[in-house]
Structure 1
Amino acid sequence: MSTLRKAAMYPLPTSFPTVDQVGVIERASRFTKRSIKKEAKLHGLSMALNMIDLTTLEGMDTEGKVKQLCYKAQHLHDAAEDIPTVAAVCVYPNFVGLAKKELKGSKIKVASVATAFPSGNSSLELKLDDVRMAVDQGADEVDMVISRGRFHQGEYRYVYDEIAAVKEACDTARLKVILETGELGTFDKVRMASDIAIAAGGDFIKTSTGKIKPAATMPVTLVMLEAIRDHYFRTGEMVGMKPAGGISNSKLALHYLIMVKETLGNEWLSNEWFRFGASSLANDVLMQIMKQRSGAYQSADYFSID
């Protein structure tokens, strides 16, 4: 079982490792060459399904859409009792109370974005109000966004202090820190932001909001996994990882799991430490699970769109 980290657990880093761009891309590509068959593939697919955060974060979200998402989360395993369900449902703060009500009695967690998602452009006071609203409504997890503008200006102390303040406001909720890697520009900056987020107390580091392209990529995720690995080697403390956006098929999800296993180890292969922010992935994983069991592909018509 995971243990909540504390805010500002470690000092703001004063130096950051450089990243070999060519090396990272080459290492990440190797994980896509692996082939998983039969029982191992079925196990990996079930694991991937149980790591998904089903998400709706649109301006046109309604109570009806949130209820539908919660229903889907609870009934994914209707096709077979031993198929797991997803890890969490992720919504805006104003829908957290509704999601908690709809998911009552299940093991599915409720996550909420906060801190002026997706831009992060607001005052710290308003961001903390956003977080407290989500937590007061019952959020189990909070997904914050860092202030990328401040980061690009070299205001690393501000970014660190802001993450620490949000972590304090989360109380018992776990904090996922979204770096928005598509706006960071280089692998070196992704590594810097990862190290800052980990030092400030983030329980997870997360690639993207899903609103900016590119979102999650395997090389970017590998840079973040290596930051987690290096922190673990120094301290013995585990930190979670969540790639989000752009992971829409089972084959790619399995490649990510191979990368996690070979970079961090088996301990990270659970939804306590690894998540996919990819709602569309759930249907494809379900289809692949049923194909592995029956030997025949299921029609997409048999699975709900939302």
Structure 2
Amino acid sequence: MAASRGHADTATGAPAAVVEPVARKADDEGRNPGCALRLDWVADVRVNRAAAERRAATVITRRSVKNEAQAAWLVKAVTCTDLTTLNSDDTPGRVRRLCGKARQPLDPDLQAALGLDDRVIRTGAVCVYHGMVATAVAALDGSGIPVAAVAAGFPHGLSPMRARVAEVEDSAAAGASEIDIVISRQHVLRRDWRGLYDEVAAFRAACGAAHLKVILGTGDLKTLRDVARASLVAMMAGADFVKTSTGKEGVNATLPVALVMARTVRAYAEATGYRVGFKPAGGISAAKDALAYQTLMREELGRDWLEPELFRIGASGLVSDIERQLTHFATGAYAAGHRHAMP
């Protein structure tokens, strides 16, 4: 991995020369266009697991965010959250209620108490299965909030490739402006980097103008080195975001994994000039967890990666806990749990 500023504890084999981007359509301007698969770069990736774990353990101790600053960071976290419902019992009514929450994630009285009654605060996106895309698009019409669809055989990525590509195309056609695809983990476990590259490139092509968020399923990848290499290959293939997890694995987002992925994002940006977003997902339900990931982004990637264009948190219950913490900051007391329950 690329060494962090002041932390030469990990290393990555970044190419000596700037990597030439893949030519894409004019409407892709500003997005990561990807580049040719560089197997030499992939092979040179190294991760010192012990050092990465030590560094990740310091994230919550190195920077203390308190009082007004903490409240501001938590409001920012709300704007970077992808409100998510991916359940077998999802209904149009539930999705519409979730979209209402995305439009107004903080209670108006709480927002006024925070001195933010003149601010439009909304979540980063609403994330649903393909069958609920049209419902979400209609419910969010005029809000500017994107709909993200999970696709490509989510959560396991084991459907036939033609079906996975068709699902991506269908979700984009239904109005999803972001597509969260899941890779075939077997490509990583077998070190089949060409197979992974071609798979992600096919999904990127199927997305059209919709942005592609590539879910690695990091809990299934076994090693931090493979997490880094899979992240790098996904970016070479044109990923707009790299994402940790589906939320369905036994182990989902962790700070060591996030550190490794963030440093790979930085190495890619330094080599190509293109910035890729990062999305931790799965098991992030407490405000303190959001602060930890925000701190990691700020220290490893810089201020731009605290904005929803480059940072998202995949969560369903996180906003409820953030509301509780902000209520305590504003009033000195916690509201009853049901006041901030998700719809």
Q: Indicate the SS of the match to 1:53.
A: strand
- Which of 189, 193, 218 is residue 255 of structure 2 equivalent to? 218
Which residue pairs with 1:297 in the alignment?
A: 334
Note if 1:39 corresponds to 2:76. no
Note if 1:186 corresponds to 2:213. no
Which residue pairs with 1:13 in the alignment?
A: 39
- Which of 179, 186, 189 is residue 152 of structure 1 equivalent to? 189
Note if 1:27 corresponds to 2:64. no
Letter of the 2:150 counterpart: V
Contact 1:244 1:278 in 2 (8 A): yes
Q: Could you list the per-position Cα deviations for residues 12-66 of structure 1 after superposition, in whole angstroms to 9, with x for gaps in the alignment?
A: 4332311101100000011111321122111100110100001111122111221
1:199 to 1:305, Cα distance in 2 relative to 1, 3 A: same
Which residue pairs with 1:262 in the alignment?
A: 299
Q: Could you list the per-position Cα deviations for residues 103-127 of structure 1 after superposition, in whole angstroms to 9, with x for gaps in the alignment?
A: 1111211000000000100222111
Which residue pairs with 1:86 in the alignment?
A: 123
Contact 1:24 1:219 in 2 (8 A): yes
Alpha-carbon RMSD: 1.4
Q: Indicate the SS of the match to 1:54.
A: strand
Q: How does 1:62-211 map to 2 (within 5 A)?
A: 62-79=91-108, 80=111, 81=117, 82=119, 84-211=121-248
Q: Indicate the SS of the match to 1:112.
A: strand
Q: Indicate the SS of the match to 2:149.
A: strand
Moved more, 119-128 or 135-144: 119-128
Note if 1:3 corresponds to 2:30. yes
| Distance in 1 separating the partners of 2:270 and 2:103 | 37
Runs of 5+ unmatched residues, structure 2: 1-28, 112-116
Q: Indicate the SS of the match to 2:148.
A: strand
| Distance in 2 separating the partners of 1:10 and 1:293 | 51
Larger Rg: 2
Q: Could you list the per-position Cα deviations for residues 157-192 of structure 1 after superposition, in whole angstroms to 9, with x for gaps in the alignment?
A: 111001001001101101000000000001011011
Letter of the 1:59 counterpart: S
Residue 83 of structure 1, CA deviation: 6.7
Q: Indicate the SS of the match to 1:117.
A: coil
Q: Could you list the per-position Cα deviations for residues 242-283 of structure 1 after superposition, in whole angstroms to 9, with x for gaps in the alignment?
A: 000111111111011111000001111100000000111010
Contact 1:16 1:192 in 2 (8 A): no
- Which of 265, 272, 279 is residue 228 of structure 1 equivalent to? 265
- Which of 84, 98, 101 is residue 55 of structure 1 equivalent to? 84
Residue 198 of structure 1, CA deviation: 0.8
1:89 to 1:296, Cα distance in 2 relative to 1, 3 A: same
Residue 301 of structure 1, CA deviation: 1.8
Count residues in correspondence: 304
| Distance in 2 separating the partners of 1:30 and 1:256 | 12
Contact 1:4 1:172 in 2 (8 A): no
Which contiguous aligned blocks of 4+ residues in structure 1 show a shift greater than 4 angstroms? none
Letter of the 2:35 counterpart: M
